[in-house]
Amino acid sequence: MNDLTPPTHDERVANLKGMGHSRKRVEDARFTQGKGNYVDDVKLPGMLFGDFVRSPYAHARVVSIDTAAAMAVPGVLAVLTAKDLAPLNLHWMPTLAGDKQMVLADGKVLFQGQEVAYVVATDRYAAADGVEAVVVEYSELPVVTDPFKALEPGAPVLREDLAGQTSGAHGARRHHNHIFKWEVGDEAATDQAIGEAEVVAEEMVYYHRTHPCPLETCGCVASMDKINGKLTLWGTFQAPHVVRTVASLLSGIEEHNIRVISPDIGGGFGNKVGVYPGYICSIVASIVTGKPVKWVEDRMENLMATAFARDYWMKGKISATKEGKITGLHCHVTADHGAFDACADPTKFPAGFMSICTGSYDIPVAYLGVDGVYTNKAPGGVSYRCSFRVTEAAYFIERMIEVLAIELNMDAAELRAKNFIRKDQFPYQSALGWEYDSGDYHTAWDKALKAVDYDGLRREQATRVEAFKRGETRKLLGIGLTHFTEIVGAGPIKNCDILGMGMFDSCEIRIHPTGSAIARLGTISQGQGHATTFAQILASEIGIPADSITIEEGDTDTAPYGLGTYGSRSTPVAGAAAAMAGRKIRAKAQMIAAYLLEVHDDDVEFDVDRFVVKGAPERFKTMKAIAYAAYNQAIPGVEPGLEAVSYYDPPNMTYPFGAYICVMEIDVDTGVHEIRQFYALDDCGTRINPMVIEGQVHGGLTEALAIAMGQEIAYDEIGNVKTGTLMDFFLPTAWETPHYTSDHTVTPSPHHPIGAKGVGESPNVGGVPAFSNAVHDAFRAFGLRQSHMPHDHWRIWRIAHDLGLHD
């Protein structure tokens, strides 16, 4: 072959590096060389620094705040309190859940670490010294950190600002610490099915409070230019356009005069969706001083005061026939929301998508009720690497399947297979209202069981139990099974919004005359590899190599309006917007190609990177040639240029699923566990970049490991955070992280333009119950039915102790 030989079809496909290609992440070149641009890298002339005085108490009156000594500290320029913000009506701010939250403590504090005053200084050291010099007098109040005790008649009144209000954003309040009661499903029919059932299993399933703990903490830089009246805000924002809208509503600055920039972000996982007091105070400080103001929280502040995750007490009942066919599911949740309801959930779903709690199973009737409760804990309710409480829902149903298997004395794998939604039932309408798009659960499950030699593992486990009873070993074997279904891709404007903004997303594409391109999207990457994978989608759609396509996000002055990145919505929504915009480009390119080839539009067809004449493929025009012609030829009936914009409103969510199996050995004398094998099969529909998918799965499983096996935000009886440093809050290192075996099936979504469903959060959703079920399964033969996460060494040792295995 010589250099003049035209490339083959396969060579042209390979050159595109489009969908299905394991293309290396283009972002990594700058990250691995220390050339990333994060919020703390933003340095502006005359920049000031902000820091918070935070409450040491979980519940106390603020008797007085003396700022005189702080103002005398060299470099301190201002100390803001609620009294300073009140004239601007900024001492409280709306939350994304329809509640309101103190920006700075107004009269009292409601959780340890709450923001009391904001010190502005010429450098971070002076700001820290100023914080130490502020004198706050507190009067302690009774503390309640238990949501059940918070609802008792004599419980302390936490939210005095809501005194006398019997209803909130989501309906009636039945107690002064009650936020809402949200219900879905048919409770009467569910209770009837359970009451008439042959077998019923009941259990309280607790998903403990944890925290995303991203590598980069939250922060911002606010810069108000009083000359042109424009506010620029750099920040760790997962939804920069929404932040711009909120900033406009709060500040009164017209939205076109606000520019929000999300630079590189060192992990989000839901922690950076909401609006924090640091953002508001920095904006106010910049307006007051006329200088840029930076605020970056430290690690303890991040763990104590920024948005938490989980904290769901889920009381379940599940019924079945003696043969194991599920007949009903009842779930009541007591949801601990902390001091303020600041959950970033779609407006119509105050408990997020918890109603996916029927999971992968064909359950004829179900009911879900959720009571939101105020306590003296930090607010937030972050969907930590999951789509709006899907992780809680998956954990609940997978634990209930396990306890039902115990009640039936049935193998848990068999019970699952007996109740899976069948392939021919899709699209499937769940008992709680969701329409699952597609799935082939039995194929995935059979593949997973075969891959790990499930029958052989059960024989080994039985042999191990007998050896343990004979005193020949002190290690038990647990097999943790999970089959989960997610609901991601929020979402359709008809039922998903945040603060009234429909959860569509967007893409704008501009093809340059020389055949390269730039695409701007309303999302923002926090490590998902958007610059790599979105370019691959467009490469396949428009026939320009991925290496010739630049992806831009995170600047509200250039990107089209979008609802951001969280809840695995990037590919299902923004990826669809990119594909649809690409098809608009291709449609115009087809007209240009037909003109250049002197044939009718219908006589040319797209072929990888060009348009060819039907029946005469030797006659063609490449996309590069078409792009050049779009700018230098007058084509009748066609505007010059080659650009397109798409705002995509999905017709439905997408429903990725997976089958996970964890094989774990546990030493009953120490509580130490060893993960011998972890098999993860994911079905995310069309796979864009297998290598990126594998990286997402490995990362998500490691976070799931942390949550299930030790990660916890714990409080003592007076509301002190006991796990506020990385000495106490478990983050797995390479030492604790096991080897993962990833696998897949492909069931495309029928309504998504490229059939993709999303995968970034699946491993966290499915991983947690797999790890937890392995612990439970190891002790099942000795009578264990249910224990609460996290399963650290001490708690596992306690399980063995309470079962009498140390005697």
Please report the domains of the chain, with CATH numbers, ordered by start residue.
9-36+505-648 (3.30.365.10), 39-141+218-265+273-300 (3.90.1170.50), 308-489+653-802 (3.30.365.10)
CA distances to 23, 213, 383, 698 from 692, in Å: 8, 22, 22, 10
Tell me the C-alpha distance between 326 and 361, whole Å: 8
Whether the pLDDT of residue 250 is over 90: the answer is no
Per-residue pLDDT averaged across 644-655, rounded? 97
pLDDT in tens, 184-231: 999 999 999 999 999 999 999 999 999 999 999 999 999 999 999 999
Are the C-beta atoms of 368 and 183 separated by less than 8 Å?
A: yes
Residue 5: its pLDDT value, please?
85
Dig out the tokens for 693 from the structure: 């998918």
- Dist. CA 437–CA 432, nearest whole Å: 15
The tens digit of pLDDT for each residue in 696-708 reads 999 999 999 999 9
Q: What is the pLDDT of residue 462?
A: 98
For the segment 86-133, what is each residue's pLDDT rounded down to a tens digit?
A: 999 999 999 989 999 999 999 999 999 999 999 999 999 999 999 999
The pLDDT assigned to 526 comes to 94
User: What pLDDT, in 10s, does the model give residues 441-484?
Assistant: 999 999 999 999 999 999 999 999 999 999 999 999 999 999 99
Burial class (CB in 10 A: 0-12, 13-18, 19+), 451: middle
Residue holding tokens 């899709």?
Answer: 426
Q: Which residue has the tokens 């035209």?
A: 6
- pLDDT at position 2 is 52
Instruction: Express each pLDDT in 342-373 by its tens digit.
Output: 998 999 999 999 999 999 999 999 999 999 99
Dig out the tokens for 271 from the structure: 């922690």
Please count the CA atoms within 13 angstroms of the CA of 121 that sit on its side-chain side. Answer: 22
Mean pLDDT across the stretch 141-147? 98
pLDDT over 70 at 1, yes or no: no
Residue 172: how many CB atoms within 10 A of its CB? 10
Whether residue 498 is predicted with pLDDT greater than 90 in this model: the reply is no
User: Which of 162-176, 244-258, 704-718 reaches the highest mean pLDDT?
Assistant: 704-718
Q: For residue 647, what pLDDT band results from cuts at 50, 70 and 90?
A: very high
Closest of 792, 646, 786 to residue 705, by C-alpha: 792
Q: What distance in Å separates the CA atoms of residue 694 and residue 766, rounded to the nearest whole number?
A: 15
User: Which backbone phi and psi does 550 adopt, to 5 degrees?
Assistant: -100, 135
pLDDT digit string, tens, across residues 145-185: 999 999 999 999 999 999 889 999 899 999 999 999 999 99
Instruction: Give strand ranges (E) for 171-324.
Output: 171-172, 178-185, 199-210, 219-225, 230-235, 258-261, 293-296, 309-320
The pLDDT confidence band at residue 50, using thresholds 50, 70 and 90, is: very high
What would the two tokens of residue 451 be? 């891959």
By annotation, the residues acting in catalysis are 238, 385-386, 761
pLDDT in tens, 653-668: 999 999 999 999 999 9
Q: What is the spatial distance between Cα 575 and Cα 757, in angstroms, rounded to a whole number?
A: 10
Q: Which amino acid, 231?
A: L
Average pLDDT over residues 756-766: 96
When the pLDDT of each residue in the chain is averaged and rounded to a whole number, the result is: 96
Is pTM, for the whole model, over 0.85?
yes
Q: What is the C-alpha to C-alpha distance for residues 769 and 660, in angstroms, rounded to an integer? A: 9
What's the length of the chain? 807
> What's the mean pLDDT in 712-731?
96
Which band of pLDDT confidence, cut at 50, 70 and 90, is reported for residue 3?
low
